[in-house]
Amino acid sequence: MPDALRSLIRNFGRVVNKALVVGWYVLLPVSFFKLAHGVFVHWKGGTFSGDDVFVAIMLSIMVFLAYRYVGVPFGGSLLAIAYIAYSLA
């Protein structure tokens, strides 16, 4: 049992790092959907303001960086989430 505890303590940094990465890839699309849906609701409702322009620019940069640094599957999934948010607005 002490060997298992020692191994857990030695690899605790890796476990925390993996948990943070998984949390990032789960929470980023959820927040992306909520922000994109809010922008599309304001756009279709005619209440599009400066705050929505800023959020739309940040969402566009987020999709670009997802394509650039993570790859096509993650960037494509963000675009699909944006399309779903647009169709639900």
- The pLDDT tens digits for 25-77 are 888 888 899 999 999 999 988 888 888 899 999 999 988 988 888 888 888 88
Q: CA 68 to CA 61: how far, in whole Å?
A: 10
Q: Which residues contact 44 (CB under 8 A, 6 or more apart)?
A: 89
Q: Can you give the pTM of this predicted structure?
A: 0.71
